[in-house]
Amino acid sequence: DKTLQARSIWCIVLCLGFAVAGLASDYFWFSFTIMYLLIFSPHITEVSNAIWNPKKRILSTLVLSAVVVYWFGIIAYVYFGSDFDGAVSGSNITLRRTI
């Protein structure tokens, strides 16, 4: 209990220092006062853990979706290549022959 109070006091002093530095020097220092919310809010901690713990699965899902979108674009270009030819006539013929 005393550790939490001492930690809270140090955090408040640090946030006050960043706020004063933001007023005196540059607005950049105000961004560090938001860290108080991230450290002491249990809801934000739970949300960040829900995103950070399965980071490998989330990254794999993003990579898979990028591959699916890429192949969808290639297939759409092969089947509907003539629709992409509107701006410059014959510009896509060389690319379409390579695919």
pLDDT tens for each residue of 24-57: 988 888 888 887 777 777 888 888 889 889 999 9
pTM beyond cutoff 0.75: no
Instruction: State the residue for tokens 């939490």.
Output: 4
What's the mean pLDDT when you consider all of the chain? 80
Averaged pLDDT for residues 1-29: 79
85 touches 91 (CB < 8 A) = yes
Residue 41 per-residue DSSP state:
-
The predicted structure's pLDDT at residue 88: 60
The predicted structure's pLDDT at residue 78: 77
Residue 25 per-residue DSSP state:
T
The predicted structure's pLDDT at residue 89: 64
